[in-house]
Structure 1
Amino acid sequence: MVNLVSLLLPLSLFINIISLPLPARAISSCSGPCNTVDDCDGQLICINGRCNDDPDVGTHICGNSAPNGNNNCQPSGTLNCQGTSYTQYRCSPPVTSSTAAILTNNDFSQGGDGGAPSECDESFHNNSELIVALSTGWFNDKSRCGSLIRIMASNGRSVEAKVVDECDSVNGCDEEHAGQPPCRNNIVDASDAVWNELGLNKDVGEVDITWSMA
């Protein structure tokens, strides 16, 4: 005769196992392991098996914790302008106490090479003002409008300047941008006054500098 108890015991164990609560999905923070975007917290995305900043959003939540030397700031596309292709960026390198950048010169006055009025206040500015435009990622959707940044040149001189505009790293080659192509993602575009205070020759065109929030 078949022992009924011996048949029911494995069945009861099976029912108990499947009735156990499933473990909650783990939400990973910066550099945490992941398989899909759902594994990552907030605006982070899954890149190469690790949670990191979304280059399309341009967040800097993870800072220098990104797994590669470019801080995962990848191009978002290309823009063709008069037969030349320009790389587009929605992000910039993380801002630190000494952020490496390239200083360029911009004419913020009406009719200047800045094109449209400054994005922060919809106004043109005199180039005697200590003002700058920042690449799209650093501009961060106007969040740095009106803020002061400290710019340091390799000659030891420094100056504080106010953020009034975006150096667009996505759009360009149109009337709004005075025909200029998209900025690179590491540009501090400064007025004549900033160059003069730093003791730099604007005719050079580009100079390596560092900057930080003042």
Structure 2
Amino acid sequence: MAAAASFLNPLLALLSLLLICLSPSTLASSSCNGPCNNNDECEGQLICTSGRCTDDPDVGTHICSASSPADSCRPSDMLQCNSGSFPIYTCSPPVSSSTDAILTLNNFTKGGDGGGPSECDNYYHDNTELVVALSTGWYDGGSRCRKMIRITSTNNGRSTTARVVDECDSTKGCDEEHAWQEPCDNNIVDGSQAVWDALGLDTKAGREPVTWSMA
């Protein structure tokens, strides 16, 4: 029995060592946004932050941002307003067949919170019209002017079409031209009351997740 025990002890030790070596934490490392407990569990120059692998700001890598198209559009500067400091953008996330966006409310009438007349036609529009303004990157210098887009509510699945008539300026704001409002985010579909009504959404929410595409 003693001889058998002396033979088994080294074998058990070897098996334990193999189990440690083959554990999941040592077999694979996490890529961008993958789960982690420490920096050793992240690939390459990524670091573990809040349980996820991400770029190391001290190194200055953009591995994760480059792998996520929605995050590839970064602020070009900051605009100082009386109400605070706001990022400004010259770009928007890439457009797809179902582009994620945030729906906000705009009053396109004269004297409304839309400021001056619409960029596309130099007219004001009644709140009963299905019209929208797009963030600067999506407005694309007016290339989508007067074109129809389809907007779908992420929450209830209802859809409507609306005409692009204006730019929701992501590069300027806090002045009379923009009704003293801060710059738009880079992912905004700024819709009229009619758009909100067609989607069955309550304007009191202020912001609603939607998707949009060319109609």
Could you state the TM-score of these two structures normalised by the residue count of structure 2? 0.68
| 1:150 has 2:119 as partner | no
Measure how far apart 1:203 and its partner are.
Answer: 1.3
Q: Distance in 2 between matches of 1:49 and 1:104?
A: 30
Note the residue ranges of structure 1 that are not aligned, 5 or more in a row.
Answer: 1-47, 51-64
Q: Secondary structure at the match of 1:194?
A: helix
Aligned match of 1:87? 87
Q: Distance in 2 between matches of 1:192 and 1:132?
A: 10
- Structure 1 pair 94/175, CA: closer, same or farther in 2 (3 Å)? same
Q: Distance in 2 between matches of 1:174 and 1:188?
A: 21
Aligned match of 2:131? 131
Residue type of the alignment partner of 1:111: G
Q: Distance in 2 between matches of 1:49 and 1:203?
A: 38
Q: Secondary structure at the match of 2:142?
A: coil
Aligned match of 1:194? 195
Note the residue ranges of structure 2 that are not aligned, 5 or more in a row.
Answer: 1-60
Measure how far apart 1:161 and its partner are.
Answer: 0.2
- Counterpart contact for 2:106–2:113, Cα < 8 Å: yes
Aligned match of 2:100? 100
Q: Distance in 2 between matches of 1:173 and 1:206?
A: 20
Q: Distance in 1 between matches of 2:97 and 2:198?
A: 21
Q: Secondary structure at the match of 2:86?
A: strand
Measure how far apart 1:70 and its partner are.
Answer: 3.5
How many residues are aligned here? Answer: 154
Q: Distance in 1 between matches of 2:187 and 2:149?
A: 14
Q: Distance in 2 between matches of 1:49 and 1:69?
A: 12
More helix by share: 2
Name the % identity: 59
Q: Secondary structure at the match of 2:194?
A: helix
Q: Distance in 1 between matches of 2:62 and 2:75?
A: 20
Measure how far apart 1:83 and its partner are.
Answer: 4.8
- Structure 1 pair 49/98, CA: closer, same or farther in 2 (3 Å)? closer
Q: Distance in 2 between matches of 1:142 and 1:74?
A: 21
- Counterpart contact for 1:71–1:94, Cα < 8 Å: no
Q: Distance in 2 between matches of 1:213 and 1:66?
A: 26
Measure how far apart 1:69 and its partner are.
Answer: 4.8
- Structure 1 pair 211/175, CA: closer, same or farther in 2 (3 Å)? same
1:3-152 equivalences under 5 Å are 66-152=66-152
Aligned match of 2:177? 176
Measure how far apart 1:68 and its partner are.
Answer: 3.5
Residue type of the alignment partner of 1:81: C
Measure how far apart 1:74 and its partner are.
Answer: 1.2
Could you state the TM-score of these two structures normalised by the residue count of structure 1? 0.68
